[in-house]
Amino acid sequence: MTTRRNVLKGIAVSSLMAATPFSVARAAPNRVISDRSIAAAAAYARSKDTAPRRSPGCTFQFAAMRNGKTVLEHGDHEWARWDQARVNVSASLAGLMAAALVADGQLSLDAPLADILPEWRGDRAYAGITTRHLLTMTAGFAPGPSPRIPTYAKALKLRPVYAPGERYAHGPAPMQIFGAVVARVTGVRGVCIQDWVQARLLDPIDLPPRKYGQWFMDNDANLDLSRGRMFTVSELARIGTMVLDASRGRGPVKLDPAALAACFEGTQANPGYGMTWWLLRPGLVDPPPPLDRLKVDAAHIAQMADVRMAASETGQRLYLLPDHGLVIAHEGNFQRSPGFGPHEVLPPPPEKAFSERVFLEILLGG
């Protein structure tokens, strides 16, 4: 990828952030988002930072890319808040994995999964469940969060409690079932699935495997798709750029166009959630805490821009604004509790609460 790096670091970015007001203005449709507005949005996000740093070199992470070129990048240290980068942001890769499998002729989004999963064959409880249902969280399984992520084998034994497509129910089980589907159609198992993801999606955009922070695994040593793996924000921004490029038929990663578009199509059960991606649109159904504040903001944000988002329960965000060719990633301000369980997070104090609405109004206002 050829990029013009305009990287603001250390004192320079701190000065720009400090000097840039947080003023909120309404953006005209398709208005160009200025570099100054991006810096102001970064300053707002940074002002909500609460977590202690693990080493002197760790600073708040923020990255923005426009049409494949870096606009602003700050604090991208490999160890900077590494635990923030591991939950549902990278889980949104599952939708891209599905689009890759469709492009490779190995998967159909709307074929019954009982054709792939012999455990479900002949059982009416699973009849009609498809990959699209799994990844839009409408397959009918009970919602999470769960104190323990089920293994693939245990997830496949869970019984649906709703009819497919009837209700949005967010939880780890559909992601783990999708992991089992990937294993069956690719013929790779366990840790080897991460090698497939690496070769198919990450190597082409020059994101090498990490020495630290590889994919999380379940108790059977299978890829834990509900928690994903660690990425720095600049890496997330490059993944977002890959998605925008692929949606325009460009770039090194070949994804099926219809399957990729399905990642950003809501359902009747939840217009604000596609295949593992949040859509800030009217009708967004309450996601699990702490993301449940999004419903209040979604309709207002939709009036300003088409915003697609990958989000972690610890507050990390990856925003895609396709009309502007813009990708923004930043870390969050929720902290892990001492127990450090998969769903044990501590919200910030009220004065440090991050607002998508304020952030995007600052971004789109100038």
CATH number for the domain that contains residue 304? 3.40.710.10
Tokens of 19: 């000097």
Which one is predicted more confidently, 126 or 295? 126
Total structural domains within the chain: 1
Q: What is the pLDDT of residue 145?
A: 61
Of 79-88, 116-125, 250-259, 322-331, the one with minimum mean pLDDT is 79-88
**Max Cα distance, the chain (Å):** 65
Q: What is the pLDDT of residue 339?
A: 45
Residue 2 lies in a domain: no
- Average pLDDT, stretch 125-145? 93
Q: What is the pLDDT of residue 40?
A: 95
Domain enclosing residue 76, as ranges:
10-364
- Compute CA 23 distance to the chain's CA centroid, rounded to the nearest angstrom: 28
Q: Is the pTM of this model over 0.75?
A: yes
Q: What is the pLDDT of residue 23?
A: 34
pLDDT at 157 over 90: yes
Of 18-27, 32-41, 252-261, 314-323, the one with minimum mean pLDDT is 18-27
Q: What is the pLDDT of residue 87?
A: 39
Residue 231 lies in a domain: yes
pLDDT at 261 over 60: yes
Residue 204 lies in a domain: yes
For the chain, the residue count is 366
pLDDT at 166 over 80: yes
Tokens of 170: 């967010």
Q: What is the pLDDT of residue 158?
A: 95
Q: What is the pLDDT of residue 338?
A: 47
Residue 322 lies in a domain: yes
CB 319 within 8 A of CB 309: yes
- Average pLDDT, stretch 9-24? 36
Residue 247 lies in a domain: yes
Interatomic CA distance for residues 3 and 241, integer angstroms: 11
Tokens of 346: 């501590």
Residue 1 lies in a domain: no
Residue 226 lies in a domain: yes
Residue 4 lies in a domain: no
List C-alpha distances in Å: 95 to 65, 70, 261: 21, 25, 10
Q: What is the pLDDT of residue 30?
A: 56
Interatomic CA distance for residues 289 and 143, integer angstroms: 12
Which one is predicted more confidently, 295 or 265? 265
